[in-house]
Amino acid sequence: MTVRSRRDRGQAFPIYVVMVAGLLFLAFAFFAVGKASALRNGSQSAADAAALAAAQSARDDFGAGFYASLPTNTLDLFLNAPFAPPCYEADRLAGANNADATLCVPAYGFLRDRITVEVQGRKSVDSSVLPGSDGKFAKAKATALIEFRCPRPKAVDMNSDGIQDLFIFTCSNGEILEITPSSPPPWKTVSRTLFDVRLVDQ
């Protein structure tokens, strides 16, 4: 009986070794997949942040021309002019999120512009259990929309001198905004009312 018991234990040992090896392989595989997923999520966050930063910076740089267009009645024409995509902001935000911006391009449309940013993460997957993962970096893309959300304003001649000196905007979010071109408010206090900046589907 003692000899048989030892023999049984000897036969079971290789099975235990195979089972442990299989479990270890599965653990490494799950870890590698989790790492790849985390890197992909990180790159998407970097792309989102970079696209929004570029769009917000473009909106912030639009103020002087916007105000100048009001008294000359060229608002519609001016709004159809494209924003200048400040891709340095996309680069900065991508870098802050451990990624590099590989593309930053605008797409222009009437009263609404898009800025698309693509990024690549700086950390590779490099897993021995995922074939082909060596030197592979997570990539992601995001598009931000800059949209004018206030219809053409009502122009008012306050002094009956033939000069339009007050412009009243009634915006889609329900806000009413009054701008006097001779002494306009700081641009950043009105830009978020005039322009919506948000992420959109590709």
Predicted pLDDT of residue 61: 86
Residue 15 CA to residue 33 CA, distance in Å, equals: 27
Assigned domain for 196 exists: no
- Domain range enclosing 50: 2-148
Assigned domain for 187 exists: no
Assigned domain for 200 exists: no
Predicted pLDDT of residue 91: 93
Residues 6+ apart with CB under 8 A from 157: 163, 164, 165
* pTM listed for this prediction: 0.75
Residues 6+ apart with CB under 8 A from 83: 55, 58, 59, 61, 62, 106, 113, 115, 146
Q: What is the maximum span of the chain, computed from C-alpha positions, in angstroms?
A: 117
User: 141 forms bridges with which residues in the sheet?
Assistant: 118
Assigned domain for 22 exists: yes
Residue 175 CA to residue 92 CA, distance in Å, equals: 33
Predicted pLDDT of residue 181: 87
Assigned domain for 121 exists: yes
SS3 99: strand
User: 117 forms bridges with which residues in the sheet?
Assistant: 104, 142
Predicted pLDDT of residue 1: 46
| Domain total of the chain | 1
Predicted pLDDT of residue 30: 57
Tokens matching residue 197: 């900046």
Residues 6+ apart with CB under 8 A from 111: 79, 80, 147, 148
The stretches in the chain having pLDDT less than 50 are 1-2
Contacts 24+ apart (CB under 8 A), 75-81: 75/152, 75/153, 76/152, 79/110, 79/111, 79/148, 80/110, 80/111
